[in-house]
Amino acid sequence: MNIPNRITISRIMLIPIFIFVLSYPFDWGVWHVQGQDIPVTHVVALLIFAVASATDWLDGYYARKYHLITNLGKFLDPMADKLLVSAAFILLIALDMAPAWVIIIIISREFAVTGLRLVAAGEGTVLAAGKLGKLKTVLQIVAIIVLFLHNVPFGSVPMDQILLYAALIMTVVSGIEYFVKNWHVMGESK
């Protein structure tokens, strides 16, 4: 297995640690930042999430620089992104920090795109993520980070909600674009 794929696997392996930190009732205290109380567990989880998210850039960088793009990587990389982002969004619902209906739409799009990728894979075609899909992932990651920061750096501006709804819109738009661009796969399926 090449280095970019190993980096992607490391991202997947960080997900259970991220989930554990947010799910287990650790009592690590609270940080008071600009009038906001941020549980230390949220900060630790945010750091794990940020490291995992950074591996997305890192594996892509190595794959392109050293010409190590593989079909496995084209499949694993977006899957790792979806697993990480979905775990974070579901936990944000559990923490009452994001509305369930927004997250349901986001995760439904991810399942739909994954389903189309599986149909294509069954036909011997690997569908890579497009530019809008990559922008969608970046917006989702930034929204999650700002949500875990409890909107501290932005004061009275609800930047966390603005970014969450921007991520929702980009998720829907990129999903539509992905299906329109790749709909032929459904017609060609046996």
Q: What CATH number is given to the structural domain containing 138?
A: 1.20.120.1760
Is residue 129 predicted with pLDDT exceeding 80?
no
Tell me which of 16 and 152 has the higher pLDDT: 16
Determine the Cα–Cα distance for residues 103 and 108; give it in Å rounded to an integer.
8
> Cα separations (Å) of 13 from 89, 102, 180?
17, 26, 33
Q: Convert 26-52 to b/e letters by CB count within 10 Å (16 or more is b).
A: eeeeeeeeeeeebbebbbbbbebbeeb
- Tokens 């036909």 found at: 123
Coil/strand/helix, residue 155: coil
Please give the mean pLDDT across all residues of the chain: 92
| Mean pLDDT on 127-132 | 84
190 pLDDT exceeds 90?
no
Our measurement of the distance from residue 10's CA atom to the centroid of its chain's CA atoms, rounded to an integer in Å, reads: 15
Give the tens place of pLDDT for each residue, 61-104.
999 999 998 888 888 888 899 999 999 999 999 999 999 999 99
Angle, in degrees to the nearest 10, between helices 100-122 and 159-182: 20
What H or E segment, with its residue span, contains residue 12? helix 3-23
Q: Has this prediction a pTM greater than 0.75? A: yes
Q: Is the pLDDT of residue 5 over 90?
A: yes
Least confident piece of the model among 44-58, 104-118, 121-135, 170-184: 121-135
Count of domains forming the chain: 1
User: Domain span at residue 84?
Assistant: 3-188
